[in-house]
C-alpha cells in the first residue's frame, strides 16, 4: 500500500478515537429541550434491524421523509445519499453507480435494484446504459441504499451496492386512505400536475387489500427545431477540429416548443392473507407506463443558452417505457427459523426513436443530409425465486441461509431505413437492422451469520456460491451489416462462470450509541457477449469476461448528545479486477471489453443534528477517486490511438491511469429544517436543501470530456393540521442548467462535432396537498 493510502487510513483511525470520547461527553448533555433523531428499521441483512445496529454502510429514507422532502423518484434520492451517483437522460432512463464502480460496460449493472423482494435488472444490451425501472414513490415504507459489494446476500449486479425500495403492505382490520395532489409551473416550460391515492381495505380478520394509483404530467422545456437547409458539419475526411455547421444562422422551418413532456401513470395492488400469527402470504402487482415526447437533452453547439435540439428533418424522438411486475412472498414461522419464499416475475418494454439524420450522413459523408429516424426497442423479462431461512434467536447467534435462481431474457432490437440505402437484397433501404436475444440464467446458494463473541464484540461472515450461463443470438442485416438481408442462421455466442463471494465483518459496540466495524467483502458481475457492429467498423471482441471487486472498509456509527446528533462515517478501498468498460471503434460504435484492473477509494460521511426544538440540520458527502490503474494493452491502444482531442489520461503507454467514466469525485448534500407549532393544532415546517455534484469525466465520440460540477437548491414550506397538510415549494431555486451526462442516448452514431447533454428541470414553483385517514 502506498504512503498516500497509508496516510488516509491513519487519518480515519485517528478520527475514531476522539469520537468515542465525544460519545461519553454527549451523555452528560442537558436534553431538557432536545429534539430526538428518529431511527429507521432496515432489512439490509435480510432481517429487521436499525441503521445504528447494522454494522455496514447503509443509508435509508422513510416514506414520511420522502413526502416531507417532496421526493418522488429514486433519481432524487441519489442526490441525498453519499457514494451514489447516476447517469440519466430523464425519467425511466437512469443508471446508478456506487463507490466509483461505473456500470458503463458489461451486460449487468454494478448496483443491484430491488422492489420489495424482487431483483429488477436493466436490459442486457441497451446502448442507453443499465437503466432500471423508475417507480413512483408514493406510499413507500422506505428506501435503503447499501454501499459496497453485497454479493453474499444479493448476488451478481450488486458489486458496488444495492438499492431497495420497500412498499407499504396491507394492514388487517383497519381502513386507511390517503390522497396527494400537486400543481406546479416550470420556467421556460408550462404547467405540471399530478395526483396519487392509497386505499387499504380490510376483509375480515385474515385478509386485506391495498390499492395505490398515480398519475403525473410534467411539461417540457427543450425545443426541437427543424432547419432548412441544414448547415453542413466539417466532413470526417478533413483534418480536426471537426465542427458542426452554424445552426443559429440557418433558416427555421419548424419550431416545436417544450417537446420533452412526460406522462406517467400506474398503480399497485397488494393482497395480504394471514390466517395465523405464524403464516402470511402477500401478493403484489405493479403496472406503470412512462411516455415522453423527447429527451431531456440539448445540443452543443450551440449549448445550454438555447436548450434545443436542431434537426435537418422533422423527426420526433419519443420514448416509451412500461413495466408489469408480479410477486408472491410467503413467511412461515417454523419455530427455530422463519421460512421465506419470494417469487417474482416482471416484463418491461422500452422503445425510443432518435433523429440520426445528421450523424449518419456525416459518418457516410452524404451531402445534402438524408433523413434517418433510428429506433431501439428493448424487451426484458425475468423470473426469480429465492428460498431462505432466517433464525429467530438473535441473542448470540443469528444466521440466514438460502438458495436463489433467476432466468433473464432480454432482446435488443434496432432499426432505421431510407430508400437512399436501398440495394440488391435490401430493397427497403435498411441501414442497419438487428434482432439480438440475450439470455442469462443464474443459480446461487448462500449463508450468512453473526456471532456475539462478547456483549460488545460481534463477528459476521458469509459465503455465496454462484453459477451463471449467458447466451446471445445475433441476427443483423442492412447497408452497414455483413449481409443486406436477414441471415439464415443467427450467430451464437456463449459465456459461463462460477465462483464464490465471501464477506467478513468484525464490529465493536461498547455502548448502544456507538459502533465500530471493519469489513471485507466481494462482489461480481457475469461476463457476456457483445452485440454485432457494422462491417465497416472492422473487427471487435465477441465476448467479455466477468469482473469482481474486493471492498475493504472501516467505519463507525455514533449517536450523541442524548440522540440529538448522529455521525455515520466510513473509509473504503476497492480492488476492481477485470473492469468491464465501454470502448469505441473508429466508426463510433461501442463494444464492451475488460479494460484491466482498477481501484476506487474514499471517505463517506452522514451527519444529522437536532440543534434545538425547532432547528435541525443534515449533511452528507463523499470523495471518490476511481481509476483504471493497470489497463491492458488493448485498452491502452484504444486510448492512445482513438483520442483525437479532449481529455485523455494516457500520454504514453507507460503513463496511463484513466479515470473510471461517469463518476463524480465529490458529492454533497446539506439540508436545514425549521419546525414549530402554531396555534396549538398547526405545524409549520420550512426546509432548504442544496445538492452538489463535482466534475465528471464522460464520453463523447472517441474521447473523454469534463462535465462541470453543479449545485441544485430546493426550498419547501409546509403547514400541517390533523390529517391534512399543504405545501409551497420551489425546486432548482437558482435555475441552474446542469450538464448531467453526455451522449448517453446516442445509440446510433456519435460524431465529433455534436454533443447532446442531458440536463435537469429548470426552476419550478408549485403547491402540494396531502390528506390521509
- The total domain count for the chain is 1
Query: Whole-model pTM?
Result: 0.90
What pLDDT band is residue 107 in, cutting at 50, 70 and 90? confident
- For residue 597, what pLDDT is reported? 94
Is residue 451's pLDDT more than 80? Answer: yes
Report DSSP letters for 630-699, one per residue.
EE-HHHHHHHHHS-SSSB-SEEETTEE-PBPTT--SEEEEEEEEEEEEETTTEEEEEEEEEEEE--EEEE
Decide if 168 is inside a domain: yes
Q: What percent of the residues of the chain are helix, what percent strand, and what percent coil, each to the nearest 5?
A: 10, 55, 35
DSSP code at position 222:
-
For residue 246, the tally of other CB atoms under 10 A from its CB is 10
- For residue 60, what pLDDT is reported? 92
Decide if 739 is inside a domain: no
Decide if 90 is inside a domain: yes
Rounded mean pLDDT, 515-535 = 84
Is residue 646's pLDDT more than 70? Answer: no
- pLDDT tens-digit profile of 51-92? 888 889 999 999 999 988 889 889 889 888 998 988 888 898
What is d(CA 103, CA 97) in angstroms, rounded to the nearest whole number?
6
Report DSSP letters for 439-501, one per residue.
EEEEEEEEEEEEEESSSSEEEEEEEEEEEEEEEEEEEEESTTSSSSS--SS-EEEEEEEEEEE
Quick check: 413 and 380 in contact, CB under 8 A? no
**What percent of the chain lies above the pLDDT cut of 70?**
90
Is residue 208's pLDDT more than 90? Answer: yes
What pLDDT band is residue 14 in, cutting at 50, 70 and 90? very low
Of the two residues 509 and 494, the one the predictor is more confident about is 509
Decide if 743 is inside a domain: no
Closest CA to 134 of 169, 167, 93: 93
Is residue 447's pLDDT more than 60? Answer: yes
What is d(CA 66, CA 81) in angstroms, rounded to the nearest whole number?
13
The mean-pLDDT minimum among 9-18, 35-44, 254-263 falls in 9-18
Rounded mean pLDDT, 512-523 = 95
The mean-pLDDT minimum among 57-66, 344-353, 471-480, 655-664 falls in 655-664
Decide if 414 is inside a domain: yes
What pLDDT band is residue 33 in, cutting at 50, 70 and 90? very low
Decide if 439 is inside a domain: yes
What pLDDT band is residue 708 in, cutting at 50, 70 and 90? very high
Quick check: 198 and 170 in contact, CB under 8 A? no
What pLDDT band is residue 2 in, cutting at 50, 70 and 90? very low
Is residue 550's pLDDT more than 60? Answer: yes
Beta strands in 157-222, from DSSP E residues, in sequence order: 161-167, 176-186, 191-203, 207-218
- For residue 5, what pLDDT is reported? 35
What is d(CA 142, CA 38) in angstroms, rounded to the nearest whole number?
14
| Cell numbers 399497485: residue | 268
Cell numbers that stand for 764 in this block: 419550478
Is residue 27's pLDDT more than 80? Answer: no
What is d(CA 46, CA 203) in angstroms, rounded to the nearest whole number?
30
Quick check: 480 and 488 in contact, CB under 8 A? no
Rounded mean pLDDT, 728-739 = 97
Rounded mean pLDDT, 133-151 = 93
Rounded mean pLDDT, 758-769 = 97
Is residue 265's pLDDT more than 80? Answer: yes
Report DSSP letters for 564-630, one per residue.
TEEEEEEEEEEEEES-EEEEE-TTS-EEEEE-EEEEEEEEEEEEEEE-SSSEEEEEEEEE-EEEEEE
The mean-pLDDT minimum among 220-229, 236-245, 355-364, 517-526 falls in 236-245
Q: Return the CATH number at 316.
A: 2.40.170.20
What pLDDT band is residue 702 in, cutting at 50, 70 and 90? low
- For residue 525, what pLDDT is reported? 86
- For residue 7, what pLDDT is reported? 37
- For residue 254, what pLDDT is reported? 97
3-state secondary structure of 506: strand
87 is in which domain, residue-wise?
3-681
What pLDDT band is residue 643 in, cutting at 50, 70 and 90? very low
Distance (Å) of CA 261 to CA 191, 351, 569: 11, 16, 40
- For residue 103, what pLDDT is reported? 83
CB half-sphere exposure, 546, CA atoms < 13 A = 21
Decide if 120 is inside a domain: yes
Return the top range by mean pLDDT from 87-96, 123-132, 614-623: 614-623
What pLDDT band is residue 16 in, cutting at 50, 70 and 90? very low
Closest CA to 604 of 550, 562, 557, 564: 557
Decide if 510 is inside a domain: yes
| C-alpha 187 chain-centroid distance | 27
Quick check: 309 and 294 in contact, CB under 8 A? yes
Rounded mean pLDDT, 387-411 = 92
- For residue 482, what pLDDT is reported? 81
Report DSSP letters for 35-100, one per residue.
--PPP-EE-TTSS-EETTT--S-EEEEEHHHHHHHT--SHHHHHTTSTTEEEEESSTT-EEEEETT
- For residue 399, what pLDDT is reported? 94
- For residue 19, what pLDDT is reported? 36
Whole-number average pLDDT of the chain? 88
Quick check: 133 and 160 in contact, CB under 8 A? no
* Partners of residue 27 on adjacent β-strands: none
Amino acid at each position: 500500500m502506498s504512503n498516500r493510502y497509508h496516510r488516509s487510513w491513519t487519518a480515519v483511525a485517528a478520527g475514531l478515537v476522539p469520537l468515542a470520547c465525544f460519545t461519553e461527553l454527549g451523555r452528560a448533555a442537558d436534553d431538557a429541550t432536545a429534539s430526538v433523531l428518529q431511527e429507521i428499521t432496515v432489512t439490509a441483512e435480510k432481517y429487521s434491524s436499525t441503521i445504528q445496529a447494522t454494522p455496514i454502510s447503509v443509508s435509508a429514507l422513510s416514506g414520511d421523509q420522502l413526502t416531507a422532502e417532496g421526493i418522488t423518484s429514486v433519481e432524487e434520492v441519489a442526490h441525498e445519499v453519499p457514494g451514489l451517483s447516476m447517469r440519466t437522460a430523464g425519467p425511466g432512463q437512469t443508471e446508478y453507480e456506487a463507490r466509483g464502480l461505473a456500470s458503463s460496460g458489461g451486460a449487468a449493472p454494478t448496483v443491484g435494484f430491488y422492489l420489495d423482494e424482487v431483483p429488477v435488472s436493466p436490459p442486457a444490451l441497451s446502448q442507453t446504459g443499465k437503466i432500471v425501472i423508475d417507480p413512483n414513490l408514493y406510499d413507500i415504507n422506505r428506501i435503503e441504499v447499501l454501499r459496497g459489494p453485497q454479493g453474499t446476500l444479493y448476488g451478481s449486479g450488486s458489486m458496488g451496492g444495492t438499492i431497495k425500495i420497500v412498499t407499504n403492505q396491507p394492514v388487517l382490520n383497519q381502513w386507511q386512505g390517503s390522497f396527494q395532489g400537486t400543481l406546479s409551473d416550470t420556467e421556460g416550460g408550462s404547467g405540471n400536475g399530478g395526483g396519487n391515492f392509497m386505499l387499504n381495505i380490510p376483509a375480515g380478520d385474515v385478509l386485506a387489500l391495498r390499492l395505490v394509483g398515480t398519475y403525473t404530467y410534467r411539461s417540457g422545456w427543450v425545443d426541437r427545431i427543424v432547419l432548412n437547409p441544414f448547415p453542413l458539419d466539417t466532413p470526417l475526411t478533413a483534418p480536426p477540429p471537426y465542427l458542426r455547421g452554424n445552426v443559429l444562422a440557418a433558416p427555421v422551418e419548424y419550431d416545436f416548443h417544450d417537446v420533452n413532456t412526460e406522462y406517467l401513470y400506474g398503480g399497485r395492488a397488494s393482497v395480504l392473507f394471514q390466517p395465523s400469527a405464524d403464516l402470511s402470504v402477500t401478493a403484489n402487482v405493479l403496472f406503470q407506463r412512462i411516455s415522453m415526447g423527447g429527451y431531456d437533452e440539448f445540443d452543443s453547439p450551440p449549448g445550454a443558452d438555447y436548450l434545443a435540439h436542431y434537426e435537418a428533418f422533422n423527426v420526433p424522438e419519443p420514448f416509451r417505457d412500461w413495466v408489469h411486475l408480479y410477486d408472491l412472498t410467503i413467511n412461515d414461522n417454523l419455530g427455530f427459523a422463519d421460512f421465506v419464499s419470494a417469487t417474482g416475475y416482471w416484463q418491461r418494454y422500452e422503445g425510443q426513436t432518435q433523429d440520426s439524420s445528421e450523424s449518419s450522413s456525416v459518418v457516410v459523408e452524404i451531402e445534402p443530409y438524408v433523413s434517418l429516424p433510428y429506433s431501439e426497442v428493448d424487451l426484458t423479462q425475468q423470473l426469480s425465486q429465492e428460498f431462505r431461512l432466517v433464525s429467530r434467536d438473535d441473542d448470540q447467534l443469528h444466521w440466514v441461509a438460502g438458495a436463489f435462481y433467476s432466468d433473464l431474457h432480454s432482446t435488443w432490437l434496432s432499426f432505421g431505413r431510407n430508400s437512399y440505402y436501398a440495394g440488391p437484397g435490401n430493397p427497403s433501404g435498411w441501414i442497419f437492422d438487428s434482432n439480438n436475444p440475450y439470455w442469462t440464467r443464474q443459480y446461487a446458494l448462500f449463508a450468512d451469520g453473526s456471532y456475539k463473541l462478547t456483549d460488545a464484540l460481534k463477528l459476521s461472515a458469509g459465503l455465496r456460491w454462484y453459477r451463471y450461463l449467458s447466451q446471445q443470438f445475433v441476427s443483423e442485416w442492412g447497408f452497414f451489416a455483413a449481409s443486406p438481408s436477414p441471415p439464415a442462421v443467427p450467430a451464437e455466442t456463449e459465456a459461463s462462470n462460477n465462483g464464490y463471494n465471501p464477506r467478513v465483518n468484525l464490529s465493536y459496540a461498547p455502548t448502544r450509541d456507538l459502533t465500530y466495524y471493519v469489513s471485507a467483502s466481494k462482489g461480481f458481475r457475469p461476463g457476456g457477449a457483445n452485440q454485432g457492429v457494422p462491417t465497416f467498423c472492422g473487427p471487435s471482441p465477441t465476448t467479455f469476461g466477468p469482473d469482481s471487486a474486493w471492498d475493504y472498509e472501516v467505519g463507525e456509527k455514533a449517536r450523541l448528545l442524548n440522540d440529538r446528533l448522529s455521525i455515520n462515517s466510513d473509509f473504503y478501498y476497492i480492488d476492481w479486477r477485470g473492469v468491464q468498460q465501454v470502448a469505441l471503434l473508429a466508426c463510433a460504435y461501442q463494444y464492451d471489453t475488460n479494460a484491466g484492473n482498477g481501484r476506487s477509494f474514499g471517505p463517506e460521511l452522514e451527519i444529522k443534528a437536532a440543534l434545538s426544538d425547532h432547528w435541525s440540520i443534515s449533511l452528507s458527502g463523499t470523495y471518490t477517486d476511481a481509476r483504471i490503474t493497470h489497463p491492458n494493452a488493448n485498452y491502452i491502444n484504444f486510448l492512445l490511438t482513438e483520442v483525437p482531442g479532449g481529455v485523455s489520461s494516457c500520454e504514453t503507454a507507460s503513463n496511463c491511469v484513466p479515470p473510471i467514466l461517469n463518476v463524480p469525485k465529490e458529492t454533497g448534500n446539506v439540508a436545514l429544517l425549521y419546525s414549530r407549532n402554531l396555534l396549538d393544532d398547526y405545524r409549520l415546517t420550512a426546509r432548504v436543501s442544496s445538492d452538489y455534484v463535482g466534475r465528471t469525466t464522460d464520453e463523447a465520440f472517441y474521447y473523454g470530456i469534463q462535465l462541470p460540477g453543479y449545485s441544485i437548491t430546493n426550498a419547501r414550506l409546509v403547514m400541517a393540521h390533523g390529517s391534512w397538510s399543504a405545501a409551497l415549494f420551489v425546486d432548482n431555486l437558482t435555475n441552474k442548467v446542469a450538464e448531467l451526462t453526455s451522449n448517453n442516448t446516442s445509440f446510433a452514431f456519435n460524431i465529433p462535432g455534436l454533443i447532446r447533454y442531458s440536463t435537469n428541470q429548470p426552476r419550478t414553483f408549485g403547491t402540494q396537498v396531502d390528506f390521509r385517514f
